[in-house]
Chains A and B, each alone.
Chain A
Amino acid sequence: MKPRHRKLAVIASGVTALGVASILVLNAFQSNLVFFFSPSQVAANEAPVGRSFRIGGLVEEGSIRRMADGVTVNFVVTDTAKAIPVAYTGILPDLFKEGKGVVAQGKLTANGLFLADEVLAKHDENYMPPEAASALEQAEKARKTVMMQ
């Protein structure tokens, strides 16, 4: 083998190793780093059965119910197509609100209730002053009213 060929072989094997490594990493990410499943994915049985996983979506408007013990909260996680009822006992993050993003970790019971042992708030990538946010909200309301008429 000439030195030049050897060099080429080394480079080729290096590139191959890099390719294989990145495919393996991406593959591992794909299967293990699915951070949460949407309610539709759960309905389609894509979520793992019998072990803990996370569901993510929006807290459905008007669905938050505080139980009599004061620390247990029931709410519904929706992706607007499917919805899953969730029960959680513990302290909720400040950003946990109706209509906002949420990620809950726990197990799905046989009757379809998701028993969460951790609830995280997922906020969006928009940043604006409260006045701008309320102006947007007003505009959205006005648009909806016009559409209904």
Chain B
Amino acid sequence: MAINWFKYSSPASFYVLAGRMIPWFSIAAIVLCAIGLYIGFFVAPTDFQQGEAYRIIFVHVPAAWMSMFLYVVMAMWSGIGLAFNTRLSSMVATAIAPTGAMFTFLALWTGALWGKPMWGAWWVWDARLTSELILLFLYIGFMSLQAAIDDPRRADKAGAMIALVGVINVPIIYFSVKWWNTLHQGATVSLTQSPKMATTMLTGMLIMSLACWAYAIAVVLMRTRAIILERERHTAWVGALPEVAR
């Protein structure tokens, strides 16, 4: 059975679809987070050099991965919105930004908490940390630029420019530990090499990553629905919604 995907590029039908998907992703997020944190705190062994403090990895790495991944997804939807003038794409991009910024902040914050006991410093201006901070500024720039322009269609276009230009930063963050001498260590998990960590630790980290994915999808869908309602408030279909009709 072929699914007509274009049907869901219309805000009206996407609104209903998103509403049906949100509970599933919310439940998945909660369950995966519980399993991941349990493995992280109780099952995974102590690390040979960092002791118990390494356990912050179960939040830090998934948050850092999501911060980069969400930026790419945001830029992609911005680009599609810009190129094809599809309303929904830009709305999704706008909905992703706060969650991406939250994960970026979380990665920086947990990194600081980890850096102090291990490295001996909350913050250093090395390439990895600095480029991740630039990512946070890009998210904030995207959101404030969109908030500063009243016409949503013009706001979408302006935001898309920031999002697309800023994409260059994502590979810089990812490869910074390879290209320059950094205090931040190299990648433990990568596509080209076998992971340099014990299997239980890796399992916990990957489950936490899935939890972050599910959370991000659920929250972005919720926010997209809110944006759809706001922007389409003058249309007949929004007026006919049972939750809107007065």
- Interface residues, chain A, CB within 8 Å of chain B? 14, 18, 21-22, 25-26, 29-30, 33-38, 56, 91-96, 100, 103, 118-134
Q: Chain A: which residue is nearest B57 at the CB level?
A: A127
Q: How far is the CA of A56 from the CA of B183 in the complex (A)?
A: 9
Which listed residue, B118, B176, B181, B196, touches A125 by the CB 8 Å rule? B196
Task: Tell me if A120 and B119 are in contact (CB < 8 A).
Answer: yes
Partner of A130, one of B48, B121, B172, B197: B48
Q: Which residues from chain B contact A37 at a C-beta distance below 8 Å?
A: 181
The answer to whether A18 and B48 touch (CB under 8 A), given A29-B127, A33-B125, is no
* CB–CB A123/B49 < 8 A: yes
Chain B contact surface mostly:
loop
A-B contact number at CB 8 A: 111
The answer to whether B181 and A34 have CB atoms under 8 Å apart is yes
The reply to whether A56 and B127 contact each other, CB–CB distance below 8 Å, is no
Interface string of B8-49 (1 = CB under 8 A from A): 000000000000000000000000000000000000011111
**Closest CB pairs A-B (n = 3):** A93-B120, A133-B48, A129-B45
Task: Check B126 for interface membership: any CB of A closer than 8 A.
Answer: yes
7 contacts between A and B (CB under 8 A): A29-B180, A35-B126, A35-B127, A100-B49, A125-B187, A127-B188, A129-B198
Cβ of B116 to closest chain A Cβ, rounded Å: 9
The minimal Cβ–Cβ distance linking B171 to chain A, given in whole angstroms, is 10
Measured CB to CB, the nearest residue on chain B to A137 is B48
Which A residues lie within 8 Å of B46 (CB)?
A: 129-130
Chain A proximity of B190: nearest CB distance (Å) = 10
User: In the complex, how many angstroms separate the beta carbon of B130 from the nearest chain A beta carbon?
Assistant: 6
Contact indicator B180/A34 (Cβ below 8 Å) = yes
Given contacts A33-B126, A130-B46, A131-B45, 16 further A-B contacts (CB under 8 A): A18-B165, A29-B180, A35-B124, A35-B126, A35-B183, A93-B119, A93-B120, A120-B120, A122-B119, A123-B49, A125-B188, A126-B188, A127-B188, A127-B197, A128-B197, A132-B198
